[in-house]
Amino acid sequence: MKINLPSRSLALIAGLLLSFVVAGAQTDIPLKQLKAPRNGISDAEHGVSLTYPSGWDVVRAFRWGDGNRKTTVVLRRSRPTEASVSLFYHEFGPEVTRPPEIREWFRSSFHEKQATKKKELTDYQNDPDSLKFGTTAGGLPRCSYLATFSAGSRRMVEYYVRVAGEKTYAMFLTRGFLSEIEAMRADIDQMADTLKLP
């Protein structure tokens, strides 16, 4: 079943996508600095790159957080229906140290994210059966999972993909109705599969 959302709903979802960004100063990154040929993103400053599928485009990118060391890139799909995904990445360091066992770090992040989200969305629930571990095409460890919550009378879904490099970690996040997530999940997985991190 195809769901057509009014523009107000799309704006709400886009706003919610960025809700994990800590309030404070943000510095926009000119898209010409990030966009590369053949649907590529290349952040030379942080050594991060990926390829996004046809029909998607980069619509915004910004640095934020302490010293503007965190980065968020927002991608939007134009067909068959508008959808957005946020890519966040940050270097390991004092705030988040790289653990020796990445799979356990993924698992603890899975539980910590749910605990944090429940403070604002009381019925927020990770789906433990959806938690999958693997590697990208470049051999980086990755995990993905789904979570559900209510927005008014509607049931919503979030889809996360986390990837860890040696020096940097990344997270893809999108939210919408289950049918929307299912329609773009393969595209998000494809982006994650091409992700290169230092």
Tens of pLDDT along the chain (198 residues) come to: 444 444 434 444 444 444 444 446 899 999 999 999 999 999 999 999 999 999 999 999 999 998 899 999 999 998 766 789 999 999 999 889 999 999 999 999 999 999 999 999 999 999 999 999 999 999 999 999 999 999 999 999 999 999 999 999 999 999 999 999 999 999 999 999 999 999
Q: How many whole angstroms separate alpha carbon 143 and alpha carbon 131?
A: 7
Handedness of CA 51, 53, 59, 65 (dihedral sign): negative
Calculate the dihedral angle through the C-alpha atoms of 51, 179, 72, 103, rounding to the nearest 10 degrees: -80
**172 found inside a domain:** yes
Residue 31 lies in a domain: no
Residue 60 in domain: no
Q: How many structural domains compose the chain? A: 1
Is 150 contained in some domain?
yes
Measured from the Cβ of residue 31, the count of other Cβ atoms closer than 10 Å reads: 14
Domain with 132 in it: what CATH number? 3.40.1000.10
Residues in the chain: 198
Residue 156 lies in a domain: yes
Residue 144 vs residues 3, 18, 110, 122, 157: alpha-carbon distances, Å: 24, 19, 9, 22, 13
Q: What is the pTM of this model?
A: 0.86
Which residues does 94 contact at the CB level (< 8 Å), separation at least 6? none
The range of the structural domain enclosing residue 118 comes to 7-24+83-194
Residue 45 belongs to a domain: no
- Between CA 15 and CA 119, with CA 146 as vertex, the angle to 5 degrees is 60
Instruction: Tell me, yes or no, whether 88 lies in a domain.
Output: yes
Could you tell me if residue 118 is inside a domain? yes
